[in-house]
Amino acid sequence: MDRRLGRALVYRDFLPKALPEKCIPEFLSSPVTFRQGPMGIWATPLVDTFVLLKGVVGFQPRTILEIGSYLGVTAMLLAENTAENCRIFALDLDKEHGQVYQGSAVADKITRLVGKASEELAAPGAPYDMIFIDGDHGRAGALHDSWLAWNLLSDRGVIFWHDYQIQDYFVHPHGAVPEALQEFQARTAARIVSLEGTTLALYSRYPGWETLKVAGKKTD
């Protein structure tokens, strides 16, 4: 029922759509490692995780900030699919977050940050080449995290937002990522695209793969 009603909210589906392989380098040829799939009710869905890992392999970030880490499955997978010298900073309000990767072979690549997302808390790894936003999904919270990412992003950096979608609005009215992105884009003129087949949105400054080159184009 929610999905059917959600289709009426066409204003939420405002971002130009783009195929992931048109936005992420070597998407069709790069291998990714899945040692463990998403776990738990709040975990990132498998297809979104797959595309995110393709992004981390293609964009080759040196530093990554994850806003909203939960059990830490995504952080562990990011660590397993990046170079040895890449550093991941996993931020969450829950002081117990990150149970999955603690004690693992990649734990040394991940720094746990506990508290409300802020420039001060996230400063140790800035500027970031990749930022994954999957924290507060309310309009104010998602907008706050978007500004934070914008201010901490490197000149070759990319931002992935999770849960940009037009479904689950009536059951989960606090899922206001589309509304937050609409306001954020209006205020920054950032060229953000919706990655087809996923609930991910992407903004890229990566040389040769800037999203301004695909924004506005509709796929068939």
Q: Average model confidence (pLDDT) for the chain?
A: 89
> Which CATH class, in words, describes the domain spanning 2-213?
alpha beta
End-to-end C-alpha distance for the chain, whole angstroms: 27
Q: What is the pTM of this model?
A: 0.90
Domain boundaries, the chain: 2-213
User: In the prediction, which pLDDT does 220 show?
Assistant: 41
- Over the stretch 89-141, which tens digit does the pLDDT of each residue have? 999 999 999 999 999 999 999 999 999 999 999 999 999 999 999 999 889 99
76 φ/ψ angles, rounded to the nearest 5 degrees: -65, -45
- Over the stretch 179-216, which tens digit does the pLDDT of each residue have? 999 999 999 999 999 999 999 999 999 999 999 988 75
Crossing angle for the helix pair 73-80 and 46-59, to the nearest 10 degrees: 30
Helix (H, G, I), strand (E, B) or coil at 180: helix
Max Cα-Cα span within the chain = 47
